[in-house]
Structure 1
């Protein structure tokens, strides 16, 4: 299979995100009776096969006919309708797609089931999707960028390791999100090897992922996880949901509360938006505490509505929160 690269833009993106497979989310509110029928822990993210994905989609369509699925995009991309949706959404959000690859085949999907408390349970299907391969990466993809952003996934470990190797050769810093507590639980040793390599500059974990990272040890709380991460990464952040976050850089440790007036409708995308805000703060040269505050504002903006994309109204809400805290406001296209 030959990959077709999209046209290069004249300017390299400051932040380069690696997503080996483009992913389309199917988001819907559900009640607990439906969640009880789906194998796996609530609140997590467990890969499923295509037939299981289709079964879940059918069940949800039966249960939530009054509130249809909301589809959104969030590597490689195919020439299918879903692939074009991914490209369209990225362009609309101001994301450079100059490093994307187009391939023939299917685009990955994920079912995001949101309960009454705003917690999301995710079931991604990546098995039949086209993906970028490790040998398709080249240094031109990385040249001129400052940060490489990754999500931990054992299925993508080879391409992740290849990307880190090239990124370090090209002078990029590397950010890693731990992705899900199941991924940490089931592939802890591989994750720890990756962290202990010294190639991860910034690591994000939520409190569930932090607990799994040190499970079986004498201490497994968020503070212990933060201390472990900070031994191997220049910046370490553990998010605590409604309790905000804790972060460490060198010897400095901060604890920042969540935005008090934020009511969670759907937690899908909260970690990604927090990380993007924190990284924006780092690039702007803000202090550790200010980076956490920007992350809290951006993360708080996405949980106010269904789905992992921030609505125009909630971008305005985020702008207001940043202005109230005398923090820099990003230029958002949509």
Structure 2
């Protein structure tokens, strides 16, 4: 097996986040599921955008956010995701490449437009996401750069993108390519509603040994395993996944690998401003340590530091110097 050229290559939604503060009354008036993520069509996306106050546009997408964190920590990364040949597509491509991430997926001509996620952030920092996937959901297997996938130590897959048929086939092919090259496959469950729709697929991937690193939060783990008790859910999955990382929001996170368990407390911050991207950046911090062969506890600590940085401001892309933060808080 040849040495990898990239640390992590990710396949995920290529979308632009449109974020605005909102009161709880607005969430209720619009009939939104506070704190969740809902897929919306073109008409609903326009309705919600019209209801937003002054907004901030930031390139997003779960896996792309994770790569932004990894690149900021010095990892060499590449991204595969579909945008349309339009203004938001240009914005997304520019932002990804400006972050030092290799990105060469061809733009898609015509409709639908580039995807966007309309995010309402309430005063408690909770984010309510409404995602129009747009061009992202038409990523075909033919768009994969298989040589690039085989050259990365870790293939990181975003559960959100498992929902549409074309990218689901693309990700299955990517897993085969990574496996054939002897690379690791990491998977983030993304959201409980995705597991409710495709849980059988995910459980099959786990049972077949196709996932080396699984990221899930407490709620996602319960949906995946059918266990309401956290520890019971952990035990059910840890036996079949080489590395399990389970986050618990303000209660920290745990990781289990080869029967060894490590835990980390959440990093203290002055104020939670916006929880968008907390899980994405936790994965970035963890993977930045994992690809370096660091102990589980150190990987978790890096994840907690990155998650704390991201929830201290609006948006799911780092604003602080993650390298400096990690260095200062890990000694």
- Measured after TM superposition, the shift of residue 114 of structure 1 is 1.1
Aligned residue for 2:45?
Answer: 53
Q: How far apart are 1:28 and its partner, in Å?
A: 1.1
Matched positions, count: 302
Q: Contact (CA 8 Å) 2:268, 2:308: kept in 1 or not?
A: no
CA contact (8 A) 1:42 1:121 kept: yes
Aligned partners of 2:250 and 2:266 also within 8 Å: yes
Contact 1:226/1:237 (8 A) holds in 2: no
Give the deviation of 1:224 after TM superposition.
2.2
Q: TM-score, normalised by structure 1?
A: 0.85
Displacement, 1:268? 0.6
Answering whether residue 15 of structure 2 is matched by residue 27 of structure 1, we say: no
Compute the TM-score of the two structures, normalised by the length of structure 2: 0.86
Partners of 2:30 and 2:233 lie apart in 1 by 30
- In structure 2, the residue matched to 1:91 is 97
Equivalent residue number for residue 258 of structure 2: 250
* Aligned residue in 2 for 1:197: 208
- Segment of structure 1 superposing worse, 37-46 or 148-157: 37-46
Q: How big is the shift at 1:128?
A: 5.5
Give the drift of 1:126: 1.6
Once the two structures are TM-superposed, the CA of residue 59 in structure 1 deviates from its matched residue by: 1.0
Gaps of 5+ in 1: 1-10, 327-334
- 1:146 and 2:116 matched: no
CA separation in 2, counterparts of 1:22 and 1:324? 32
Q: Which structure has more helix as a fraction of its residues? A: 2
Deviation (angstroms), 1:138: 4.6
Q: Please give the alpha-carbon distance, in whole angstroms, between the structure 1 residues aligned to 2:185 and 2:114.
A: 26
Using the alignment, how far apart are the partners of 1:182 and 1:40 within structure 2? 15
How far the C-alpha of 1:39 sits from its partner, in A, is 4.1
* Structure 2 gap ranges (5+): 61-80
The one of 272, 275, 279 equivalent to 1:271 is: 279
Offset of residue 104 of structure 1:
1.1
Distance 1:203 1:174 in 2: 9
